[in-house]
Amino acid sequence: MRGMQKAGLIAGFFVIAGLGLGVAHLNAQKKSETIQAQAWGEVWAAGKTFNMTIIIQSYSTPQDQKTLIDAFNRGGHDAMVKALQKMPSRGRIAMTGTLGTDIAYVRSFATETGRKIRVVTDRPIYFRESYRAGRSTQYDVTVVELNIDKENVKKSSGGLIVGARVRLNKSGQIEVESYGSGPWRLTNIMER
């Protein structure tokens, strides 16, 4: 009986110590960020609007960036998408009221008035779209750029390309091509 109590105390110690380490780990991680914006359609989607939410749990590393660049240089857009699909989730992006999709790559850069956030993730191709096997399935990346102005929140702006394809143009510059509606203008950007 006494041996069982001792074993129980030792097991209890390890459980409590493990919980303490878990709490220390949680405190060491940066708190997640939630950003909300309103998307306004332009070109083919003019007059359409929806709200979106971006939840950032962690930011991508310079090594993640190198992985994507190397993949793109090695095999173009399709190789870059495969690399995105292998990356751990860094958060979620969703139209308000939906579950959304995981964010594969997100970076933040300081600017003179605040910061710029860039999000790139693979776009889920659902059964109906895949079954039709149309051209839209080749535009399997979503790209978001947010310019957050800390001095005047009303000046914050951004862009969203829901279905994008990345390629090199004739002059060797990286170009993001949009499928269909063109880029959506992001306004009313709020950090929560």
What is the reported pTM? 0.77
pLDDT at 156: 97
| DSSP string covering 3-18 | HHHHHHHHHHHHHHHH
Please give the structure tokens belonging to residue 126.
Answer: 């659902």
DSSP-based three-state secondary structure for 75: helix
pLDDT at 30: 67
Please give the structure tokens belonging to residue 24.
Answer: 């220390």
pLDDT at 20: 37
Taking only the tens place, the pLDDT of each residue in 5-23 is: 333 333 333 333 333 333 3
For residue 50, what is the enclosing H or E element?
strand 49-56
pLDDT at 118: 96
d(CA 188, CA 192): 12
pLDDT at 98: 85
pLDDT at 129: 61
CA angle in degrees (0–180, nearest 5) for 94-98-54? 20
Q: Where are the domains of the chain?
A: 1-30, 31-191
Enumerate residue ranges in the chain where pLDDT < 70: 1-30, 125-127, 129-130, 136-137, 181
pLDDT at 54: 97
